[in-house]
Amino acid sequence: MAQRLTNRVDLLDPYEVAQLGGIELAARGVVEGFLAGLHRSPFRGFSVEFAEHRPYQPGDELRYLDWKLLARADRLFVKQYEEETNLRSMVVLDVSRSMDWVGGERRLTKLEYAKRLVAALALVLLRQRDATGLIAFDERVRSVVRARARHGHWWQLLAALGELEAGQGTVAEPALRQVTDLLRRRGLVIFVSDLLLDKDLALLALQHLRHRGHQVVVFHIMDPAELSLEGPPEARFEDPETGGAVVARPRELRGVYEETVRRTIDEWRSSCRGGGIDYHHVLTDTPFGYVLRRAAASRSRFG
Amino acid sequence: MGFLHPLALIGLVAVALPPLLHLIGRRLPPTVVFPAVRYLTATEREHSRRLKLKNLILLLLRMAVILFVVLAAARPVARVASGTGHPPTAMALVLDNSLSSGAVVGGRRVLDVLAERARHVLERATEQDQIWIVLADGLPRRVGRAEALAAVDSVTPWPVRLDVSEAVRIAARAVEDAPLPVREVVVLSDLQETALSAGEPSAVPVLLWASPEVPQNRGIDSAHVEPRVWSPSGEVIVRLGGTFPGEAALRLEAGGHELAGAVAGSGEVVVLSATVAERGWLQARLALDPDELNADDQWFLALRVADPAATRVERGVGSFVREAADVLRQGGRIRSGDEVTLADRPAAGTTVLFPPEDPALVGAVNRTLAARGVEWRLGELVDGEWVVTGDAGAARGAPVLRRYRLLGSGPVVARAGGEPWLVRAGDVVIVASRMEVEWTGLPVSAAFVPFLDLLVNRLAAGESWVLGATPGQTVRLPAAARSILVAGEELTVQGGVVVAPLDPGVYFLRAAAGDTVGALEVNHDRRESRLAPAAPTAVRATLGPEANVLGDRAMDRELFQGARRADLTAILLTAAIAAALLEFALASVGGAARRV
């Protein structure tokens, strides 16, 4: 059992995964496990325009296997198509102060969780030879890594992720606007944030991207402790970004607070769905493999 | 509505606890960093009104719980019937007209205030009610309403003590057999602390009303004369009691003359020395400057004044007796003469007999005693170590080493080793030991001269009795007293017992032959001088847990209403429980919502 669990790092508790090593090791382990559990490649559309061959890897659909080449050269290759090979994706990562928070022991901060998730996503995309870039933002754009598909680009992304530290407030529009400049062709935009920002402005920017033909996936990162209101009988709850505070009694407000959070998540989900945006609510204690699987499943709808 | 335990209403201040705790609790809440404050802000904005209302209701419910519990502890009662009438009631009215009720407060006697309240009570009585009235003598008298009113109108302070607790028990016994639906004991008193006594609490409801104020008081607690027979000088020892601040003049009067005086304050002991010109029995009076309670500012004493006994001392009594007699003679306590003889054998007239030095003479002494009709004899000579006990004055406690056994019967004045040592029979006083150092330590002690004074001036000169009593007290008189002189009238003593007259004074006792053989000093009970009121706890402890001192309005309300009074305690406790349950339910709403 222990061996099996070790092989499926993607299904381990994120905190335990983080204990295995740095972002690179964790992401690689997650992706290996994730791909091993799939019957087909993730994030893959369908196109009739053949582009090139590439070596077969576990998870690739057998229907794309070049049987002729197998018969002729006894080597496993799959066919790739034009649309897929040219997929360009950009990960937009929120590194605001609110992301640098953890609500309990043996748990990752939202930012640490997001970094590993982004690293895993990038690895999956790059393995498919999809060009992948990164934009990190708080009140302004903090870091930009242009989308590339070449071998070794993942290490550049990892280096950028490793250098990122929590900033201040959250303003997503400049980062999303910059995506438009960086992705001139239709591509995939992955927005990773705790969504503690101006919802209307952010949605407007995401819908703008969608209208430009990009596929948009939103990962709403939340700490499980944010779902409920705990604390002393009466406390002054302070926003780490704005410094604003509310004095409240958790016991009195817990029920309605939970209702408000649920309603907010539902609003994000319905707003995204209405705008053709793929929305995923992710808690920081969710194994990375589940998140990748859900994202892959829904991504196939946009193909 | 009224309250049986109004003091419990002090607990109403606890109603302020919930808001106070609320204010204290919200002063410095801890800060918690929480990124999702925007959700909280939205929640708070949307629900603040509802939450405030909920909190307000919770606060009010908590205050209501405390309010109901405190009110219940105060035992509220309310009338449950309308109208001005009352059910037929058996009521015993205890009107405390004891000595202390003569105190004056604000220009008015306490008794007048009590009587006014008594009239108010009686005027509400109807023909269907049965009334008993109990005054300071403690006797329940069944009276009609008109008679009761007349008795109240004519009541005066009596110089006696009233045991209020006992009076209530007597009154309760009087009404408890009455065939009426309501029974009450109404007590109108100054309710002194000293008027209460332990005993079985009353089973009948007791309504107490106390005069609102008590004055500071000073009085004479006790007084006695030394020695019992003045010849013709002596001392009066007076103890003053009370709490009145400052000093007052104290005078000793007898025979229309002021004999001595002093200035003293409460709690002091005063010794007044005086010499009296008259001889025989006299009434002396101690008078203190008057204060708010006059009745305890005087004290009556019986003085017996006689010339120093004319005494002859025979050689056979020994040198110690002779020298002590010289001292008494020089001090004016005795004079030379033949009225009393100090001798070692019975002499003519009054004799103080000491045993002869030669034991061979004992037989002759005994024969002479027999010839004089004296029943006592000198018996065996015994050696040992004994101590003098009994009425031996200064000789009490003196060591005795040798004595003759006194054989016979009759009054024994003092004993040694439990056997008669000093006896008196007619005009002969017999001492069982010679006054020599081999016989007793007395001759070489300071007590010897006073002892000899006692032998000559008191025992030999004739026994007399001075008894003390409070007004109305039953007193057993000595057998020699056949009558008592009251207001110039000689009243025969029946069975050796008299009830002390109510008026303080000195009442002389007469023998069958008409001689004065003693006196009865009747003075106030000093407990009546203590005017401090009893504490409510003491009242309840002696009269029962339901006995509370009521104010004017409470008394009016409770009177005759014992059968129509409803105790609201249970209702309030139920309301408190209901409020607590409601509070719990409302406070739990948040927890229930979380599980939805």
Domain with residue B440: its CATH number is: 3.40.50
Same domain, B227 and B118: no
Same domain, B324 and B435: yes
Report yes or no on B442 lying in a domain.
Answer: yes
Residue B590 contacts A where some CB pair is shorter than 8 Å? yes
- Closest CA of chain A from B586, distance in Å: 11
Same domain, B404 and B540: no
Evaluate the CA torsion angle A274, A277, A278, A283 in order and state its sign.
negative
- Closest CA of chain A from B18, distance in Å: 16
Same domain, B503 and B413: no
Average pLDDT over all residues of chain B: 87
Identify all chain A residues contacting B43, using CB atoms and an 8 Å cutoff: 253, 256-257, 259-260
Residue B469 near residue B348 (C-beta atoms within 8 A) = no
The most distant pair of C-alpha atoms in chain A lies apart, rounded to whole Å, by 75
Residue B23 contacts A where some CB pair is shorter than 8 Å? no
Same domain, B194 and B224: no
Residues 6+ apart with CB under 8 A from B162: B96, B97, B98, B135, B136, B138, B189, B195
Residue B596 contacts A where some CB pair is shorter than 8 Å? yes
Q: Which residue of B has its CA nearest to A227?
A: B36
E strands present in B243-372:
247-254, 257-265, 269-275, 280-288, 298-305, 309-313, 334-336, 340-343, 350-353
Residue B593 contacts A where some CB pair is shorter than 8 Å? yes
What DSSP state is assigned to residue B308? P
Dig out the tokens for B325 from the structure.
Answer: 């007699």
Domain end point (choices B460, B491, B513): B460
- Best A99, A109, A236 member to test B by mutation, with max B CBs in 10 Å, is A236
Supply the pLDDT for residue B366. 94
Identify all chain A residues contacting B45, using CB atoms and an 8 Å cutoff: none
- Amino acid identity for residue B415 in this structure: R
Residues 470-509 of B with CB under 8 A from A: none
A2 pLDDT more than 60:
no
- Closest CA of chain A from B20, distance in Å: 16
Among candidates B26, B35, B51 on the partner chain, residue whose Cβ is nearest the Cβ of A239? B35
Report yes or no on B567 lying in a domain.
Answer: no
Note whether A229 contacts B25, CB cutoff 8 Å. Answer: no
pLDDT, average across residues A14-39: 69
Same domain, B320 and B381: yes
- pLDDT over 70, % of chain B: 95
Identify all chain B residues contacting A259, using CB atoms and an 8 Å cutoff: 43, 593
Supply the pLDDT for residue B523. 94
- Full 3-state SS string of B59-88: HHHHHHHHHHHHHHHCCEEEECCCCCCCCC
- Closest CA of chain A from B596, distance in Å: 8
Supply the pLDDT for residue B563. 46
Neighbours of A1 (CB within 10 A): 5
- Closest CA of chain A from B593, distance in Å: 5
Q: How many CA atoms lie within 13 A of B59 on its CB side?
A: 14
* Top-tier CATH class for A87-302: alpha beta
Same domain, B419 and B318: yes
ipTM: 0.77
Supply the pLDDT for residue B24. 76
pLDDT, average across residues B289-307: 90
The C-alpha angle B9, B13, B16, rounded to 5 degrees, equals 140
- Amino acid identity for residue A148 in this structure: R
Residue B44 contacts A where some CB pair is shorter than 8 Å? yes
Q: Which residue of B has its CA nearest to A265?
A: B39
Domain that includes residue B68, residue range: 2-80+572-594
The CATH number that applies at residue B119 is 3.40.50.410
Instruction: Give the confidence band of A11 by pLDDT, cuts at 50, 70, 90.
Output: low
Evaluate the CA torsion angle B77, B82, B88, B93 in order and state its sign.
positive
Same domain, B164 and B234: no
- Best B28, B38, B54, B589 member to test A by mutation, with max A CBs in 10 Å, is B38
Same domain, B228 and B191: no
A39 pLDDT more than 60:
no
Identify all chain A residues contacting B39, using CB atoms and an 8 Å cutoff: 226, 257, 260-261, 264
Is B525 exposed, middle or buried, given 0-12, 13-18 or 19+ CB atoms closer than 10 A? buried
B460 pLDDT more than 70:
no
Question: pLDDT tens digits for B20-49?
Answer: 887 876 667 788 888 888 888 878 777 777
Q: Which residue of A has its CA nearest to B30?
A: A235
Instruction: Give the confidence band of B92 by pLDDT, cuts at 50, 70, 90.
Output: very high
Where is average pLDDT lowest: A140-144, B115-119, B396-400? A140-144
Note whether B29 contacts A235, CB cutoff 8 Å. Answer: yes
Residue B39 contacts A where some CB pair is shorter than 8 Å? yes
Note whether B39 contacts A233, CB cutoff 8 Å. Answer: no
First to last CA, chain B: 48
The number of folded domains in chain B is 4
Instruction: Give the confidence band of B595 by pLDDT, cuts at 50, 70, 90.
Output: very low
E strands present in B152-198:
182-189
Instruction: Give span(s): CATH 3.40.50.410, chain A.
Output: 87-302
Q: Residue written as tokens 């990164």?
A: A134
The whole-angstrom separation of Cα B130 and Cα B40 is 76
Note whether A248 contacts B44, CB cutoff 8 Å. Answer: yes
Note whether B25 contacts A98, CB cutoff 8 Å. Answer: no
Report yes or no on B565 lying in a domain.
Answer: no
- Residue length of chain A: 303
- The model's pTM is 0.50
- Closest CA of chain A from B35, distance in Å: 5
If one compares B479 and B141, the residue with the highest pLDDT of the two is B141
Report yes or no on B514 lying in a domain.
Answer: yes
Residue B55 contacts A where some CB pair is shorter than 8 Å? yes
Identify all chain B residues contacting A261, using CB atoms and an 8 Å cutoff: 36, 39
Evaluate the CA torsion angle A14, A16, A17, A21 in order and state its sign.
positive
Angle between helices B110-123 and B145-154 (to 10 degrees): 170
Q: Which of A292-296, B50-54, B78-82, B508-512 has the highest mean pLDDT?
A: B508-512
Residue B594 contacts A where some CB pair is shorter than 8 Å? yes
Question: pLDDT tens digits for B555-568?
Answer: 887 888 654 566 78
Note whether B31 contacts A256, CB cutoff 8 Å. Answer: no
Domain end point (choices B431, B460, B489): B460
Same domain, B326 and B434: yes
Note whether B51 contacts A245, CB cutoff 8 Å. Answer: no
Report yes or no on B566 lying in a domain.
Answer: no
The whole-angstrom separation of Cα B357 and Cα B160 is 56
Q: Which residue of B has its CA nearest to A237?
A: B32
Identify all chain A residues contacting B51, using CB atoms and an 8 Å cutoff: 252-253
Residue A96 near residue A107 (C-beta atoms within 8 A) = no
Question: pLDDT tens digits for B493-509?
Answer: 888 889 999 899 999 99
- Dihedral over alpha carbons B367, B372, B373, B377 (to 10 degrees): -40
B592 pLDDT more than 50:
no
Instruction: Give the confidence band of B443 by pLDDT, cuts at 50, 70, 90.
Output: very high
The whole-angstrom separation of Cα B505 and Cα A269 is 111
